[in-house]
Chain A
Amino acid sequence: MKSKKKIEKPKPEKQQPIKIEPPEDKIESRRVFLKKLWMGLGILAGAEFIGAVTGFLFSGKGNSKETEAKKLIEAGRVDSFKPNSVTPFRGGRFFLARLKDGGFIAVSLRCTHLGCSINWEEDKKRFICPCHASAFSIDGDVLNPPAPKALDYYPIIIENGIVKVDVGTRKQREKFNKDQLTFA
């Protein structure tokens, strides 16, 4: 019974519609507002999606990268390296060069041109890059382009007559100068 009444009640209201609707321009402005709201929400959702995907893709990458902390490699006793000689340490990715004056420098084997691994040519006393024929002198200076700058080098510490190379910090340089050498 009660439910019937409830259904009956709205009927007369529909038959005699009361003008509760706002004027046309207000409806129009409401429509515009809602449209803008939807658009804003859409843009927000799109931005959220892109943000979530970017976060997903980049948060996990690079964690396994080696930390550039001090990583000392013991190369050997000072007197085991003759002046004007080069000893490769392929595992440490460098060549240990001892110049004529007895100074040590550990040059990276990565060519500064496009990142190939260079080789030492004993007869010509120079490093040569197999990719684009760049040549470097024993101290890492450019002898022949296209390499634009001298080979990177690693700091050397000499303790108790033993040469240690810090392969954790690779130093960039334009040209060779005497300050980059380490003496016993």
Chain B
Amino acid sequence: MINQITEKKPKAFSNILLHLHPAAVSEESISFTRTFGLGGMAALLIVIQFITGILLRFYYEPFPQKAYDSILILHNNVLFGQLVRNIHHWSGVFLVLIVFLHLLRVFLTGAYQSPRQVNWIIGLILFALVIFSNFTGYLLPWDQLAYWAVTVSTSILQYIPLVGNSLREFVILGTEVNAETLIVFYTFHTAVLPILILLLMAYHFWRVRKSCGVIIPRSELPKTMVPTYPNLVYKEGVVALTLIALILVFAVFFNAPLLERANPSFSLNPTKAPWYFAGIQELLMHFHPFFAGFLIPLTLIILIAFIPFLKYEQSPTGIWFVSDKGKKSAKLSVVFAVAITIFLVLLNEYLINFEMLLSWLSPVISNGIIPLLIVLGIIWIYSKYITKKFKLSFSELVQSIFVLIITSFVVLTLINIFFRGTNMQLTFPWNL
């Protein structure tokens, strides 16, 4: 029955929503493990954010005296008020996670190489916009969690040389987080960033189509084409419904956090940055703020943006982990990154404190340049070692180092979220 219809006139021609897809897709490209549906999930989550965000806007008031009360009213007086806020919160959390996983998938299947290099950059910008959306939204409840997380995160800007102080005052419109900060964050969260995300998303999709869809290894060519409806659409439906169900379960069982009203005189103990900045906050425990908050993150972002423009001797596009030895060395990188990161954090916490040990030096040297050189040295020795051990090609080496750094960042993030208690001392999660 379905085949008869599609033979006459593919549904993608008659249905505007399906029109985002081509009329036919290759059977290979729609296998679930090719992409895990991560890009589609991100798109769905953004749609959910638009719907719940618009609903929340009918009640939210972006003024310090009113914001917190408007959240209380939403919780106590509005039918499904808490639920809608929970869905918005959890979709926001999931969105950052899924976009991050989407980036990993694209990287690990080599889908960033020509002709997809522009879309890699667009994707990174979209990732940044998603983070900014989340961050500007973090302040809006105007509770202690929001106030201090934003205070701490924006204070990192102070350590950028020369322009730091004025940049921070420019971002939060004053020396402290205040009423003007709230209204500006609100405008970015509910107007500027959503519009930018929507426009760039459309461009991102269009470029996927221009690159002839999802990447497939040359070994699996030629493709067998099948009609998009129902082959792809049904799969997307399964993924979408599963994700929606998962978010609903989270939203029903776990409330979005809301502490007491913001109080500029008392910091929370401990005060933590929003979870996606927790890795940077953990770095701040070990490096001078100029390095932890500015130099290291900026360098990494620039390096990641440059990945597609390096010269690779082969282009193994579409194959997970490039090759078998690529896979082995990536696995070793994960294990090594977990071990070395935990080791260095413990060492710095309990045994070696460079700033105390070398107190005659400026903290920029003792707590910045020296530990940075040690970390770079470790990465250099490690890359020499694996190149020799696995006889890695350049693209496999780049992949291993990328995996090493990303895993370290994830470990730092987890340490900061789950193992930092009162006064930011190391502790176990059950003591938090």
Instruction: Spell out A's residues near B (CB within 8 Å).
Output: 61-62, 64-65, 90-91, 93, 109, 113-119, 128-133, 145-146, 148
**Contact across chains for A133 and B148 when beta carbons are under 8 A apart:** no
**Contact across chains for A114 and B151 when beta carbons are under 8 A apart:** yes
Whole-angstrom distance between the Cβ of B196 and the nearest chain A Cβ: 16
CA distance A5 to B281 in the complex (A): 88
A-B pairs, 6 with minimum CB distance = A130-B269, A114-B155, A116-B267, A90-B265, A115-B155, A131-B271
Q: Total A-B residue pairs with C-beta atoms closer than 8 Å? A: 75
**Contact across chains for B284 and A93 when beta carbons are under 8 A apart:** no
Do A131 and B180 form a contact, CB below 8 Å, given A145-B363, A148-B289? Answer: no
Whether, in the assembled complex, B14 has its beta carbon less than 8 Å from a beta carbon of chain A, the answer is no
Do A114 and B289 form a contact, CB below 8 Å, given A130-B271, A145-B367? Answer: yes
Closest residue to B180 on the A side, CB-wise?
Answer: A61
Whether, in the assembled complex, B152 has its beta carbon less than 8 Å from a beta carbon of chain A, the answer is yes
Chain A interface, DSSP helix/strand/loop, else mixed: loop
**Contact across chains for B270 and A131 when beta carbons are under 8 A apart:** yes
CA distance A61 to B172 in the complex (A): 11
Over the window 107-128 of chain B, the binary record of Cβ atoms lying under 8 Å from chain A Cβ atoms (1 yes, 0 no) is 0000000000000000000000
Closest residue to B152 on the A side, CB-wise?
Answer: A114
Do A114 and B363 form a contact, CB below 8 Å, given A61-B180, A133-B423, A146-B289? Answer: no
CA distance A61 to B285 in the complex (A): 35
Do A117 and B284 form a contact, CB below 8 Å, given A61-B180, A64-B180, A146-B367? Answer: no
**Contact across chains for A128 and B423 when beta carbons are under 8 A apart:** yes
Closest residue to B265 on the A side, CB-wise?
Answer: A90
CA distance A146 to B159 in the complex (A): 13
**Contact across chains for B284 and A146 when beta carbons are under 8 A apart:** yes
CA distance A128 to B269 in the complex (A): 10
Do A133 and B425 form a contact, CB below 8 Å, given A90-B265, A117-B264? Answer: yes
| Residue in A62, A64, A128, A133 whose Cβ sees the most chain B Cβ within 10 Å | A133
Whether, in the assembled complex, B350 has its beta carbon less than 8 Å from a beta carbon of chain A, the answer is no
CA distance A146 to B152 in the complex (A): 13
Whole-angstrom distance between the Cβ of B330 and the nearest chain A Cβ: 33
Over the window 251-282 of chain B, the binary record of Cβ atoms lying under 8 Å from chain A Cβ atoms (1 yes, 0 no) is 00000000000001111111100000000010
> Which of B265, B267, B353, B363 is within 8 Å of A131, CB to CB?
B267
What A residues does B425 contact at CB under 8 A?
A: 133
CA distance A109 to B263 in the complex (A): 13
Within 8 A of A (CB), among B406-432: 422-425
Whether, in the assembled complex, B69 has its beta carbon less than 8 Å from a beta carbon of chain A, the answer is no
**Contact across chains for A117 and B174 when beta carbons are under 8 A apart:** no
Whether, in the assembled complex, B288 has its beta carbon less than 8 Å from a beta carbon of chain A, the answer is yes
What B residues does A129 contact at CB under 8 A?
A: 267
> Which of A64, A117, A146 is within 8 Å of B267, CB to CB?
A117
Over the window 146-161 of chain B, the binary record of Cβ atoms lying under 8 Å from chain A Cβ atoms (1 yes, 0 no) is 0010011001100000
**Contact across chains for B284 and A132 when beta carbons are under 8 A apart:** yes
What A residues does B48 contact at CB under 8 A?
A: none
**Contact across chains for A116 and B148 when beta carbons are under 8 A apart:** yes
What A residues does B173 contact at CB under 8 A?
A: 61-62
What A residues does B353 contact at CB under 8 A?
A: 145
24 example contacts (A-B, Cβ-Cβ < 8 A) are as follows A62-B173, A62-B174, A62-B180, A64-B180, A90-B265, A114-B289, A115-B152, A115-B155, A116-B148, A117-B267, A118-B267, A119-B267, A130-B267, A130-B270, A130-B422, A130-B424, A131-B270, A132-B284, A132-B285, A145-B353, A145-B355, A146-B284, A146-B285, A146-B289
What A residues does B356 contact at CB under 8 A?
A: 145
> Which of A65, A91, A119, A132 is within 8 Å of B424, CB to CB?
A132
CA distance A115 to B171 in the complex (A): 15
| Residue in A65, A93, A117 whose Cβ sees the most chain B Cβ within 10 Å | A117
CA distance A109 to B289 in the complex (A): 20
CA distance A133 to B284 in the complex (A): 11
Whole-angstrom distance between the Cβ of B431 and the nearest chain A Cβ: 16
CA distance A68 to B255 in the complex (A): 42
Closest residue to A57 on the B side, CB-wise?
Answer: B184
CA distance A125 to B176 in the complex (A): 28
Whole-angstrom distance between the Cβ of A160 and the nearest chain B Cβ: 29
CA distance A91 to B263 in the complex (A): 11
Whole-angstrom distance between the Cβ of B127 and the nearest chain A Cβ: 24
**Contact across chains for A90 and B266 when beta carbons are under 8 A apart:** yes
CA distance A61 to B353 in the complex (A): 43
**Contact across chains for B265 and A91 when beta carbons are under 8 A apart:** yes
CA distance A109 to B267 in the complex (A): 10
**Contact across chains for A65 and B174 when beta carbons are under 8 A apart:** yes
Closest residue to A129 on the B side, CB-wise?
Answer: B267
Closest residue to A89 on the B side, CB-wise?
Answer: B265
What B residues does A62 contact at CB under 8 A?
A: 173-174, 180
Do A131 and B152 form a contact, CB below 8 Å, given A90-B265, A114-B289? Answer: yes
CA distance A65 to B265 in the complex (A): 18
Do A109 and B271 form a contact, CB below 8 Å, given A116-B148, A133-B423? Answer: no
What B residues does A115 contact at CB under 8 A?
A: 151-152, 155, 176
Closest residue to B367 on the A side, CB-wise?
Answer: A145
